[in-house]
Amino acid sequence: MLRFSHVSQFLLLFSIVNAQSVTSDIELGFSTSESPILESMVDTPAFLKAATDSQRKEYVELEGNPNLTMDMKEKALFNWALRCGNPVNDLFTMYMSEKQTMQFQEDARMSVIVAHLSPEAQEADKNVRAITRNMNQTRKEMDTNVAKQLNKLPKKVYYELTFATQ
């Protein structure tokens, strides 16, 4: 069995890998300076720059609310943007669209990598992805469920999956 610190390291590593692929000029075919939406994902997003102080405060409160499921949070944020009006709403919609496109690209990249792993590692990846795609849980619940799933893995499978995603 793996200890939780290993799971935390895996999730951190997984996040770093995702962040690196997001800003990769090769992966996306353009530089961040050519994409104002992507550039805003690295810095303060354009929709937040366009928002008032009270609107930004409300956004931060919604985004940081640990009691909302991911689905509830997404709906609340889209409603927030709608209430803010333009230009915030348009910029937020573009931001979320770009974010979704990058997630699709990352999913495709990971699918290629995982396809070359052992059947056990592929099954483990499938189980973890099922957990992370479930939007009817809070972020904390998702992290806990992923940790439980990873803790069930034999060390060999865990390390295969971890090193393959570096």
- Are residues 5 and 154 in contact, defined by beta-carbon separation less than 8 angstroms? no
Per-residue pLDDT at 127 = 96
- Does the pTM surpass 0.85? The reply is no
Q: What's the CA gap between 92 and 50, in Å, rounded?
A: 10
Average pLDDT, 10 consecutive residues per value, the chain (166 residues)? 41 41 38 50 87 98 97 98 98 97 95 96 96 97 97 96 84
pLDDT of residue 41: 52
Q: Which residue do the tokens 């940790």 mark?
A: 147
CB 139 within 8 A of CB 69: no
Angle at 164 between CA 6 and CA 18, to 5 degrees: 80
**What are the boundaries of each domain within the chain?**
4-164
pLDDT at position 33, please?
47
The whole-number pLDDT of residue 150 equals 95
How many C-beta atoms surround the C-beta of residue 150 within 10 A?
24
Structure-token pair, residue 40: 């805003």
Write down the pLDDT at residue 69: 98
pLDDT at residue 70 in the model: 97
pLDDT of residue 36: 54
